[in-house]
Amino acid sequence: MIAAGTAPILVIGLGCRQGCSVDDLLALIEQSLSQAGIALQAVHALASIDLKRDEAGLIRLAAQLNLAYEVLSAQQLAPFAPQLSQRSARAFALTGCFGVAESAALALAEQLGGAPARLLITRQNSSAATFALACAG
């Protein structure tokens, strides 16, 4: 549980096409955070679905930003479906969950923060990736 007066746990959730570049991912992250007035330095971790465990762009991005990169299963993401800003039948057919970026951000924020998570930035997308930001605490 997060103690009163401590900073909330912020987690970026990402989904992407296979082969997505670090530059594409970083551009989407920076644009989304900038519009919301949130500093990248406030983020604690990156999250995605376990199908992206070996995605080179995500792994390199985490290393470049010096952030933990955690992957979660579709079963771990499923309980967060009611909180999603939209539910994609296509995403479900491909991954087993209705929205990778939002679900992953919510799941990891809740896990790290030990408290219910909420979306601070709903799903944003580029031609190659999706982004969401969740917080707990």
Written as tens digits, the pLDDT of the chain (137 aa) is 334 456 799 999 999 999 999 999 999 999 999 999 999 999 999 999 999 999 999 999 999 999 999 999 999 999 999 999 999 888 899 899 999 999 999 999 999 999 999 999 999 999 999 999 999 98
> Would you say 132 and 101 are in contact if contact means Cβ atoms under 8 Å apart?
yes
Q: Which residues pair with 90 in a beta bridge?
A: none
3-state secondary structure at position 128:
coil
Residue pair 131/124 in contact by the 8 Å Cβ criterion: yes
CA distance 1 to 111: 10
**Which pair of tokens denotes residue 128?**
């190659």
CATH number for the 14-136 domain, one of 3.40.50.300, 3.40.190.290, 3.30.420.180, 3.40.1010.10? 3.30.420.180
CA–chain centroid gap for 137, Å, is 17
pTM recorded for the entire structure:
0.93
Going from N- to C-terminal start, the domains of the chain cover: 14-136
